[in-house]
């Protein structure tokens, strides 16, 4: 029985086949809980995907960031939402990079090689254009990789700047040298998104000693100039002393003459004062007239200059107004042309949409007619075949299910078998491990016994494998070729004697190993005497069989 939905004001909301009833408050609580969970899930995704940019980093969002040619979106400060599955993000650090440039042997303009060790401080720029350059060329690179790229660029530009300057210009005009370095280096590293912060040239030397010679010459000139200045000051001192003595003598004579001329001077001064007052009066009148003429001429000149300045400003403003008018006309023409182009685009788009709508309408009509014909055909001819097809599919599904159950049972049986075998192998290995552990503990006082016992344990299997290797070989006889001499030319034994000696020397160890393993050796290898101590296998007595 299907669920029945009652009106909201009915006391029972849902009635199921089993007679269970769900009250209205419980239903609203369930819907509210589901909505709350959905809201929390969406909020968590939004919080997780909203990325903030620290002040010492650049946030780079890449993927589909808008625009066909946009590779990344860079931000310095603030934050942005990173769309899952479509976008991803990374950071570019703004920490300054200190790069040491040990430039040596750079060729100057006058073909003298100079050494210019310097230190450059660079960092990722916050300029929008250069941030995109850094995102395209430096994103996810290590600090060492960025430093190597910048170092290569700086070395090349520094050599280029030095090649355009002579030694004297580099050594004396440091301001020009630093300006050229800043212009050339900054222009090149801006292409990869870096900005030049500081340049520090530590010292400038050359291989030929030319700069040192220039310094020595400058020092010698300074010393000579100091000596000349000292001599001139001494001369000025002597001259000043003689001048002071002469002025003292002259002053005394003048004072004496002044005393004699006092009366004459007083009378002369009185007459001169009267004449001077008259002359001053006349001079005052003349100067007043001259000052009036001068002031009048100056005011006239200022008036003419003001008129010329006003005319100049008028011409400039008229020219600016004409230029702005022309620019406004050009802008208006451009806007009209752009508006016409947009209107043409809109008309073309509308025409295209109308054609598309007409085609879709015709297509819908044809599809409806085809569906009607197919439905008629299915009802009259295809229905019995479809019923037979369904019957065959149901029978095939039942057979496939039966075969899957049988295969599953067989697979479970095989799995159980191999699981039991694996458990048995694991038990055997655990028992062996426990036995080896007990063996190692028992041989704690003499650790060398444990490897010997393990070798003895495997000795029968090793001997059996060696026997398998030669059991099918038919050997009639063994022939040993020797030189026949009892010893070599240098007093050593022959090959056969060496072989027998080595074989006899190894017999005690073989007998001991066989005795420990409980194996009987062939009679041809002899036996050890019972009186021979087992602890001294160096020189055993062997009985020939």
For residues 265-293, give the mean pLDDT: 77
pLDDT band per the 50, 70, 90 thresholds, residue 150: very high
**pLDDT at 235 > cutoff 70:** yes
Compute the distance between CA of residue 302 and CA of residue 294 in angstroms, rounded to an integer. 12
What does DSSP assign to residue 118? E
User: Has this prediction a pTM greater than 0.75?
Assistant: no
**Between 159 and 457, the higher pLDDT residue:** 159
* % of residues, the chain, pLDDT over 90: 8
Give the Å distances, CA to CA, from 492 to 189, 487, 539.
80, 5, 21
φ, ψ of residue 166 to 5 degrees: the values are -85, 170
Compute the distance between CA of residue 67 and CA of residue 487 in angstroms, rounded to an integer. 96
Greatest pairwise CA separation for the chain in angstroms: 173
Which pLDDT value is given to residue 535? 47
Q: Of 45-54, 106-115, 401-410, 468-477, which gets the smallest average pLDDT?
A: 468-477
**pLDDT at 456 > cutoff 70:** yes
Q: What are the pLDDT digits (tens) for 292-318?
A: 888 888 878 888 888 888 788 888 888
Compute the distance between CA of residue 234 and CA of residue 230 in angstroms, rounded to an integer. 6
Of 181-185, 249-253, 458-462, highest mean pLDDT: 181-185
Q: In what order do the strands lie in the sheet with 72-75?
A: 72-75, 57-63, 87-93
**pLDDT at 500 > cutoff 70:** no
Which pLDDT value is given to residue 124? 92
pLDDT band per the 50, 70, 90 thresholds, residue 503: low
Which pLDDT value is given to residue 151? 92
Handedness of CA 270, 275, 278, 283 (dihedral sign): negative
Mean pLDDT of the chain: 77
Tell me the DSSP string of 338-374: HHHHHHHHHHHHHHHHHHHHHHHHHHHHHHHHHHHHH
Q: What are the pLDDT digits (tens) for 403-452?
A: 888 988 888 889 888 888 888 888 888 887 888 777 777 777 777 677 77
Q: What are the pLDDT digits (tens) for 484-496?
A: 555 444 555 556 5
Q: What are the pLDDT digits (tens) for 201-220?
A: 888 888 777 776 676 666 77
Which pLDDT value is given to residue 543? 41
Give the Å distances, CA to CA, from 369 to 125, 296, 381.
66, 108, 18
CB 56 within 8 A of CB 93: yes
3-state SS string for 496-522: HHHHHHHHHHHHHHHHHHHHHHCCCCC
**pLDDT at 359 > cutoff 80:** yes
- Cβ neighbours around 74 below 10 Å, total: 26
Domains and CATH numbers, the chain: 4-73 (no CATH), 74-208 (3.30.479.30), 443-470+495-545 (no CATH)
**Between 327 and 119, the higher pLDDT residue:** 119
Of 93-97, 107-111, 368-372, highest mean pLDDT: 93-97
3-state SS string for 124-168: ECCCHHHHHHHHHHCCCCCHHHHHHHHHHHHHHHHHHHHHCCCHH
Which pLDDT value is given to residue 196? 92
């Amino acid at each position: 029985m299907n669920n029945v939905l009652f009106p909201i004001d009915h006391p029972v909301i849902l009635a199921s086949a089993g007679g269970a009833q769900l009250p209205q408050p419980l239903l609203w609580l369930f819907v509210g809980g589901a909505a709350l969970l959905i809201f929390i899930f969406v909020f968590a995704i939004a919080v997780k995907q909203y990325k903030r940019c620290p002040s010492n980093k650049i946030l780079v969002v890449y993927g589909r960031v808008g625009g066909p040619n946009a590779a990344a979106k860079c931000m310095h400060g603030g934050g942005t939402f990173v769309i899952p599955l479509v976008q991803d993000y990374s950071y570019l650090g703004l920490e300054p990079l200190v790069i040491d440039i040990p430039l040596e042997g750079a060729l100057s303009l006058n073909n003298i090689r100079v050494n210019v060790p310097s230190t450059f401080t660079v960092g990722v720029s916050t300029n929008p254009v250069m941030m995109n350059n850094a995102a395209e060329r430096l994103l996810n690179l290590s600090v060492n990789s960025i430093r190597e790229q910048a170092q290569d660029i700086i070395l090349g530009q520094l050599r280029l700047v030095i090649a355009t300057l002579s030694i004297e210009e580099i050594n004396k005009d440091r301001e020009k040298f630093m300006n050229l370095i800043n212009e050339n280096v900054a222009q090149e590293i801006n292409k990869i998104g870096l900005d030049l912060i500081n340049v520090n040239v530590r010292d400038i030397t050359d291989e030929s000693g030319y700069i040192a010679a220039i310094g020595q010459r400058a020092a010698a000139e300074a010393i000579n100039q100091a000596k000349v200045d000292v001599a001139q000051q001494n001369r000025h001192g002597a001259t000043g002393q003689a001048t002071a003595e002469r002025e003292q003598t002259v002053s005394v004579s003048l004072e004496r003459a002044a005393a004699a001329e006092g009366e004459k001077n007083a009378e002369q001064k009185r007459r001169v004062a009267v004449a001077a007052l008259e002359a001053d009066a006349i001079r005052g009148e003349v100067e007043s007239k001259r000052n009036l003429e001068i002031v009048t001429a100056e005011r006239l000149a200022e008036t003419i200059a003001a008129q010329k300045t006003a005319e100049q400003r008028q011409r400039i403003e008229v020219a600016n107004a004409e230029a702005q008018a022309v620019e406004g006309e050009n802008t208006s023409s451009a806007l009209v042309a752009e508006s016409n182009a947009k209107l043409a685009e809109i008309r073309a788009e509308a025409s295209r949409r109308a054609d598309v709508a007409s085609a879709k309408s015709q297509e819908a009509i044809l599809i409806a007619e085809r569906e009607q014909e197919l439905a008629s055909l299915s009802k009259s001819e295809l229905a019995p075949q479809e019923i037979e097809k369904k019957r065959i599919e149901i029978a095939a599904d039942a057979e496939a299910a039966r075969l899957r159950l049988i295969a599953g049972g067989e697979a479970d049986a095989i799995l159980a078998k191999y699981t039991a075998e694996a458990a048995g192998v694991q038990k055997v290995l655990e028992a062996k491990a426990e036995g080896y552990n007990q063996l190692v503990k028992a041989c704690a006082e003499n650790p060398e016994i444990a490897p010997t016992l393990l070798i003895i344990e495997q000795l029968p299997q090793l001997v059996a494998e060696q026997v398998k290797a030669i059991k099918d070989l038919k050997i009639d006889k063994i022939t040993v070729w020797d030189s026949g001499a009892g010893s070599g030319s240098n007093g050593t034994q022959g090959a056969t004697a060496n072989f027998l000696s080595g074989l006899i020397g190894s017999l005690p160890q073989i007998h001991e190993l066989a005795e420990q393993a409980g194996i009987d050796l062939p009679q041809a290898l002899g036996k050890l005497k019972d009186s021979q101590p087992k602890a001294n296998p160096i020189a055993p007595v062997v009985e020939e069989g």
